[in-house]
Amino acid sequence: MSVYVGPRIAWAPFVPLHLALLLWTAAAAGPSPGFPQFEAKVKEYAQLADRLDREMGRVSDRATAEEVHAHKVALATAIAAARPGAKQGAIFVAAEQREIVQLIREGLAGRDGAAALKAIHEDNPKSSKDTPRVALAPNERYPDGAPLSTVPPRILLRLPALPKSVDFRFVGNALVLRDTRANMIVDYIPNALP
């Protein structure tokens, strides 16, 4: 007994163009070097924040905006208390900062890089006087209403992968590691942009 499985289909022509471009960009950028100290420290941080968030209890799906905001503030306070004296470079360790900055600057080179740099500056909280001031310090809250800068894909593809609860942003020329749940600065690298 034979089973008909249908015609063989060559899938390459059906790959969406944006996916093909993303894969090509990743290949062109080359693999990002490993950052073992950063990766271990950011994982440790995410586990700490996850534990504190669980201990506080999750916010209900029916929570009001005020309840969600209060939870974020309480989580940020708990994280800061668990990381007393956190300093710049605690997660972005000095030994790897230079390599990360070099990857960013290489990604911003050339004509395509100039467009990416322009996009970063357009949403950058330091570019506008009409936005809340962002204090660059670990454990500081990222002000509500402050813009979140774009981090172009050509840069993200070069940087280490992150847990879902943190992201990269730019504030002025600094690369910031931001906790998305607590809306706070975890660490940063000054002068990361050209």
Q: What is the per-residue pLDDT for 128?
A: 67
C-alpha–C-alpha distance, residues 180 and 187, integer Å? 13
C-alpha–C-alpha distance, residues 43 and 26, integer Å? 23
Model-level pTM? 0.80
Q: What is the per-residue pLDDT for 29?
A: 46
Say how many C-beta atoms besides its own lie within 10 A of residue 97's C-beta.
Answer: 19
Q: What is the per-residue pLDDT for 132?
A: 86
- Chain-wide mean pLDDT for the chain? 84
Over residues 30-53, the pLDDT tens digits come to 445 589 999 999 999 999 999 999
Q: What is the per-residue pLDDT for 33?
A: 58
- Averaged over 17-26, what is the pLDDT? 39
- Indicate the pLDDT class of residue 19, thresholds 50, 70 and 90: very low
- Indicate the pLDDT class of residue 12, thresholds 50, 70 and 90: very low
Q: What is the per-residue pLDDT for 35?
A: 93
Q: What is the per-residue pLDDT for 173?
A: 94
Q: Which amino acid is at 93?
A: V
Of 2-16, 51-65, 162-176, minimum mean pLDDT range: 2-16
The position carrying tokens 């007393």 is 84
- Averaged over 90-114, what is the pLDDT? 93
- Averaged over 134-158, what is the pLDDT? 92
- Averaged over 56-62, what is the pLDDT? 88
Domain extents for the chain?
A: 34-189
109-137 CB burial, b ≥16 within 10 A, e <16: eeeebeebbeebbebbbbeeeeeeebeee
